[in-house]
């Protein structure tokens, strides 16, 4: 089965969480056979852009699709001109850290916590 990626719509949110979203998001939804496997993208909070991923246990069976979705999200970030994106890796999941690094994030400390930051590179002539 092939995982398809598409822009997130409000109807996708209940498949991932039953809580109200704390901020506006721009996301990519992964689905297989009409079932939502996960949503990843960007949350806009207090002037910061925060990367997020929320996925079902079933989604972990599709690591290539997860990576493809991450690449699509970062392409979206570049198209939108986002200057800086902050993320936290899932605690206790070294694969999450490796994935963020592969997507171009750099490990750093922010407010006393380990975080990962992606910064847009601007061409200077």
Radius of gyration of the chain (CA): 15
- Specify burial of residue 53 (Cβ count, 10 A radius: 0-12, 13-18, 19+): buried
Question: 102-121 in b/e burial notation, b at 16+ Cβ within 10 A?
Answer: ebbbeeeeeeeeebbbbeee
- At 21-63, the pLDDT tens digits run 888 999 999 999 999 999 999 999 889 999 999 999 899 899 9
| pLDDT (0 to 100) of residue 19 | 87
Domains of the chain: 4-119 (3.40.630.30)
pTM, to two decimals: 0.87
Q: What is the pLDDT of residues 1-16, one digit of tens each?
A: 799 999 999 999 998 7
Using pLDDT thresholds of 50, 70 and 90, give the confidence band for residue 17.
Answer: confident
**Rounded mean pLDDT of the chain?**
91
């Amino acid at each position: 089965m092939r995982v398809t990626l598409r822009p997130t719509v409000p109807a996708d949110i209940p498949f991932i969480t039953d809580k109200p979203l704390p901020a506006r998001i721009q996301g990519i939804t992964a689905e297989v056979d009409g079932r939502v496997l996960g949503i990843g993208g960007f949350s806009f909070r207090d002037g910061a852009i925060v990367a997020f991923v929320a996925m079902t246990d079933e989604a972990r069976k599709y690591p290539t699709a997860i990576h493809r979705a991450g690449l699509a999200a970062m392409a979206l970030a570049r198209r939108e001109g986002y200057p800086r994106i902050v993320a936290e890796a899932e605690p206790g999941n070294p694969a999450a850290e490796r994935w963020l690094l592969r997507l171009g994030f750099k490990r750093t400390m922010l407010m006393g916590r380990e975080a990962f930051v992606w910064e847009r590179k601007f061409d200077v002539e």
